[in-house]
Amino acid sequence: MKRISILLLIFCTCFALAAWPQMPLSTHSRFITIDAPGAGTAAGQGTTAFLSDGLGTIGGDYIDGNNVTHGFLRTPWGTFIKFDVPGAGTGAYQGTYPANMSLEGAIVGYLYDASNVAHGFLRTPWGTFVKFDVSGAGTLPGQGTAPMSINSAGTIAGSYVDASNIFHGFVRSPHGTIITFDAPGAGTGPYQGTDSTGGCLNSDGAFVGYVVDANYLYHGYLRTPDGTITTFDAPGAGTGPGQGTVPEGISPSGWIEGGYLDGDNVWHGFLRPGFGRTISFDAPGAGTGAGQGTAPSAFGPSGMIDGYVFDANNVIHGFLRTPDGNITTFEAPGAGSGAGQGTGANTMTATGEVLGLYWDSNGVFHGYMMTP
């Protein structure tokens, strides 16, 4: 699943940084557990929530008892709608992988077919599918086209993997024209190149992603609507293979958030304004060992940031960061407390609810919606 990105189980949805009022996490926060009908009940199976429109419909995907992935929507009155893109494979780890949803209800993502090749799709608000492939995308297992973001204008952004297993970026206009690109410094070897994270396209058509260079070091990039690409590194980001900077979200005003892996392989959050100094942050209780730390997911509508905290025991916790820098962690009811268990926050709705998942004590994951 693409949302299991470099930042481990991260999905971003790009909302405006507007008035930025205080929104502390209440002790009376309300959780709704979301289990899609047909979701599997074994370890590594279950439901994840990370899609939302502007009218109260939410969604995500679920893994069934045969380890096949399907998309779902949940209406404001609680009705579930399952969807599978025509041509999606029905074998283990195949199926339909939604990535992002516009405020108008259009969904983009990709499917893995019976040969494990990825193909892009657009699901319109009325439920019809448009499938597409970027010219130059590979046709072997693990290759293909992966749309990751859509905005209200209908512009789609993502990445594709070519026949040499190199990543490249693309933008698809609302009329279907596709432009491909490579960010400066992108490597040209296997599993290098220009990649994207989920939901990081803003209303103006600017979006962020990451570059894997020839040394397998990660750098952030910003592509503006006119096609100009700027790369950047968060202060403190490591310089070894597999380390570096991974943006996860961009606001309409150009603020960028994400995470970076330092020289000790610990994750930290960052916030990069359109001007001024990049801010680093760590959530309370974040571990300081390799693979632990703070992994932001998404901007909320009032400038909140949510995400994941990996503690010293490798238990996962959700967090919310207010615009003034206050960070509060939280747990979903029913979340397990063992290593690899706990609560993750994926995104926020247009009205401020948090969507995510939690792993129970049996390793089954469940979606949730939390009203702070």
Residue 205: give its domain's CATH number: 2.130.10.10
CA atoms of 161 and 145, how far apart (whole Å): 7
Q: Minimum mean pLDDT among 112-126, 175-189, 263-277, 324-338: which range?
A: 263-277
- What does the pLDDT read at residue 275? 75
Residues shown for the chain: 372
Q: Given the DSSP bridges, would you call strands 229-232 and 244-250 parallel, antiparallel or unpaired?
A: unpaired
**Closest by Cα among 313, 351, 344, 311 to 330:** 344
Q: Is the pLDDT of residue 156 over 90?
A: yes
250 located within any domain? yes
Tell me: pLDDT of 253 over 90.
Answer: no
**Does 2 fall in a domain?**
no
- What does the CA dihedral 168, 173, 178, 182 come to, rounded to 10 degrees? -30
- Whether the predicted pLDDT of 27 surpasses 80: no
Measured in degrees and rounded to the nearest 5, phi and psi for residue 134 equal -75, 135
Residue 8 predicted with pLDDT over 60: no
351 vs 20 pLDDT, higher one: 351
- Mean pLDDT calculated for residue range 52-65: 96
What are 332-345's pLDDT values in tens digits? 999 999 999 999 99
Extract the tokens encoding 84: 């599978």
Q: What is the pLDDT of residue 15?
A: 30
Which pLDDT does position 12 carry in this prediction? 31
pLDDT surpasses 70 at 273: yes
Residue 148 lies in a domain: yes
Retrieve residue 132's tokens. 């597409």
Domain that residue 70 falls in: 30-371
Q: Is the pLDDT of residue 20 over 80?
A: no
Is 90 a residue whose pLDDT tops 50? yes
Residue 4 lies in a domain: no
Rounded mean pLDDT of 42-61? 97
Q: How far is the CA of 259 from the CAs of 23, 24, 231, in angstroms?
A: 22, 22, 15
Categorize the per-residue pLDDT at 372 as very low, low, confident or very high, splitting at 50, 70 and 90: confident
In a domain, 164, yes or no: yes
CA 80 vs CA 10, 128, 286, 293, 316: distances in Å: 23, 17, 35, 35, 28
Average pLDDT over residues 148-159: 96
For the chain, what percentages of helix, strand and coil (3-state, to nearest 5) are there?
0, 45, 55
Taking the C-alpha atoms of residue 332 and residue 353, their distance in angstroms, rounded to an integer, is 13
In this structure, what token pair is assigned to residue 309? 């905290």
Confidence of residue 171 (pLDDT cuts 50, 70, 90): very high
Bridge-based pairing of strands 207-212 and 218-223 is antiparallel
Question: Residue 251's pLDDT is what?
Answer: 85
For residues 190, 62, 4, 96, the Cα torsion angle rounded to the nearest 10 degrees is: 30
pLDDT at 311 over 60: yes
pLDDT for the residue 199: 64
Residue 5 maps to a domain: no
Domain assignment present for residue 13? The answer is: no
Split at pLDDT 50, 70, 90, the class of 28 is low
Domain count, the chain: 1
Predicted pLDDT at 1:
28
First to last CA, the chain: 27
What pLDDT, on the 0 to 100 scale, is given for residue 16? 29
Range in 63-67, 251-255, 274-278 the model is least confident about: 274-278
Q: Which pLDDT band, with edges at 50, 70 and 90, does 160 fall under?
A: very high
Q: In which band, very low, low, confident or very high, does the pLDDT at 303 lie, cut at 50, 70 and 90?
A: confident
Q: How far is CA 372 from the centre of its chain?
A: 21
The model's pLDDT over 101-126, given as tens digits with 9 standing for 90+, comes to 999 999 999 999 999 999 999 999 99
Q: Could you read off the pLDDT of 194-225 as tens digits, one per residue?
A: 999 876 899 999 999 999 999 999 999 999 99
Which has more pLDDT, 19 or 79? 79
Provide the token pair at 113.
Answer: 């077919």
Cα dihedral across residues 319, 320, 325, 326: positive or negative = negative
The half-sphere exposure of 91 on its side-chain side, counting CA atoms within 13 A, is 6
Q: Is residue 25 a part of any domain in this protein?
A: no
- Hunting for tokens 């998942």 — which residue is that? 357
Closest CA to 245 of 262, 227, 230: 262
Q: Which two tokens stand for residue 310?
A: 């990996």
